[in-house]
Amino acid sequence: MAPSLDFSNWWPKDARKGTPVVVKMENPNYSVVEIDGPDAAFRPVEKSRGKNAKQVTWVLLLKAHRAVGCLAWIASFFWALLGTIKKRLIFRQDVAMASEKLGKGKLLFTVIKAFLVTSLTILAFEVVAYLNGWHYFRNPSLHIPRSTDIQGLLHLVYVTWLSVRADYIAPPIQALSKFCVALFLIQSVDRMILSLGCFWIKYKKIKPRIEGDPFKSDDVEGSAYEYPMVLVQIPMCNEREVYEQSISAVGQLDWPKDRLLVQVLDDSDDESIQYLIKAEVAKWNQKGVNIIYRHRLVRTGYKAGNLKSAMSCEYVQAYEFVAIFDADFQPNPDFLKQTVPHFKDNPDLGLVQARWTFVNKDENLLTRLQNINLCFHFEVEQQVNGVFLNFFGFNGTAGVWRIKALEESGGWLERTTVEDMDIAVRAHLNGWKFIFLNDVKVLCEVPESYEAYRKQQHRWHSGPMHLFRLCLPAIITSKIAIWKKANLILLFFLLRKLILPFYSFTLFCIILPLTMFVPEAELPVWVICYVPVFMSFLNILPSPKSFPFIVPYLLFENTMSVTKFNAMVSGLFQLGSSYEWVVTKKAGRSSESDLLASAERESKIMNQLQIQRGASESELSELNRLKEQKEAAPVPVKRVNKIYRKELTLAFLLLTASVRSLLSAQGVHFYFLLFQGVTFLLVGLDLIGEQMS
């Protein structure tokens, strides 16, 4: 007997009303009619009620088609996701990498990949355990079965993992966390002492002062000799965006023209940029500024080699001081009058350092966070060390050196990428003193893109460790006081250059995420929350307008410790990237307060006529050719700058790990665990892709 196909229950029926009446007909040729009520026969006929087997088949086929389409969409989605990951890891956003470069994986990122795989495996066990109600090892309600009670292999594996975690994994993590917490507290005490010293300087209004008017003389004929001979150097390399601003600012310095010489030290390998810089130098030379252009064919030693080559010129012997400005720095016209007089009647003074101020500090979130760090560096670290120790690290620019101090300290050396810190340490070992002027500010730029910022931070953190290896014997055998040696070794190098990135990376980027999978190694709340927030408040005090960004600052600084730790290790052990110099990309921002530069540009047409009158035909043809090349140069397009996803995801990872440690007792451990696993996966993929690129 064929099965009956009753599809009547597939469609809803109206509720029956009234008493059903059945009418039977004796004639078999008539159909049986069932009437539900007295008005049923007069209702309109519903065509949809007449479903047959053919229509039902079409409905089933339609549903099957939709199901197959959904599966195909899911398959295409996962295929596209895998393709994106492949591009991210191998091609780095459609840019093919050489096969030999892909094989050069660094140890740090190999460890990160291994840690990523292990973490995801443990995460799978944690999810299954939570769904089965096993929870934690120390849960009193957790039933640990005996060998006779084991119901499945997965349960046995999980219980074994709990035992191994509690007996073998948690103890070393706890020991390492205690060591890092001790370093964290030492560094926090150092920051607090520096902040208290800054408050004392503000309260007592302590700052270097110039007694009287150093340029005033009763002898009118000999008054010009009150101005010492000053050499100004502008080292640059392929600085198309900012060369004009820096040369223009230095050309307007308020100093006697016959006692000032400007050296434009160009290491550019792009001929078009060389022509543009030559044209700018020629323009200011025609205006009466004593300025010369120097170009090296071989860029050996980077910036240190450039400065060393310039100082070897014979005419430099006639000058007493040298001021150095990087290509993006724009000093005020009175810069030399605010700095050079401090050398008068102070023969032990070797360096006068001015403070940086940033024209693009409000450009994006990255520039705001950099402004917080650099404001604390200058106003707190540099100022306190300058007032109480007469020593700090030279910033490489916006400073004036006594040439005698440079020569007696050995001059510029090409052995590291932090030639500024190198010469400062050697000058300090030779007994020279430094002065920091917090009131004298020089306009400059901070990197607006993460790539430029990361490369800058790599150089700033790998160079000091490389220098520490080279300078340690000289520091130990020097004749300076023991407390000065201790300050150089323990505070200047170890605490602020080595310990800081080490504990930041280990404590907040390794141990804190590990607490997701090893609850026995839980960190105290004051380590996760209270002390870091308090230290962040101290860091933001020099820039009070940045208080709304305290949370992104705290998270981003911890995530950047990955880059800083990698750089520190490469510098300490002299790995391949420890002597890598990449010029920081500039955007060429101009300041609204730079009125003199804007007025100079407005009068460009008027000055061009004077230049042509005093130039020969060959010079005019050269200037016209350079002008045409400058006009034909492509106009730089402003790029949209964003902080990379890995920094934000790792920041949220640390934040949720902290919150999870506070709320795990309330039963929300599982949800934070899932979120942390996803974010950690994104972080691992981005870090691997960055390393391969």
How does DSSP assign 465-533, residue by residue? HHHHHHHHHHHHHS-S-HHHHHIIIIIIIIIIIIIHHHHHHHIIIIIHHHTTT-GGGPPPHIIIIIHHH
167 is catalytic: no
Q: How far apart are CA 134 and CA 137, in angstroms?
A: 8
Whether the Cβ atoms of residue 351 and residue 318 lie closer than 8 Å to each other: no
How many residues are there in the chain?
Answer: 693
Asked if residues 363 and 641 have their Cβ atoms less than 8 Å apart, the reply is: yes
Measuring CA to CA, which residue among 522, 526, 510 is closest to residue 559? 510
| Pair 326, 332: CB distance under 8 Å | no
Q: The tokens of 100 are what?
A: 């030999």
Radius of gyration of the chain (CA): 36
**Counts of helices then strands in the chain (DSSP H, E):** 25, 9
Q: To which residue do tokens 């008068």 refer? A: 344
Phi, psi at residue 529, to the nearest 5°?
-120, -60
Sequence-separated (6 or more) residues with CB below 8 Å from residue 116: 680, 681, 684
Judging by beta carbons within 10 Å of its beta carbon (0-12, 13-18, 19+), is residue 606 exposed, middle or buried?
Answer: exposed
Eight-state DSSP code of residue 314: G
420 tagged catalytic: yes
Q: Please choose, from the candidates 351, 355, 327, the residue with its C-alpha nearest in 3D space to the C-alpha of residue 234.
A: 327
Nearest to 263 by CA among 243, 288, 242, 281: 281
Q: Which residues pair with 399 in a beta bridge?
A: 324, 353
Catalytic residue among 326, 328, 420, 594: 420
Distances (CA, A) of 545 to 30, 153, 347, 424: 94, 59, 40, 32
DSSP-based three-state secondary structure for 310: helix
3-class secondary structure, 32:
coil
CA pair distance 159, 132, nearest whole angstrom = 13
Which residue of the set 267, 326, 422, 686 is catalytic? 267
**Residues annotated catalytic, as ranges:** 267, 420
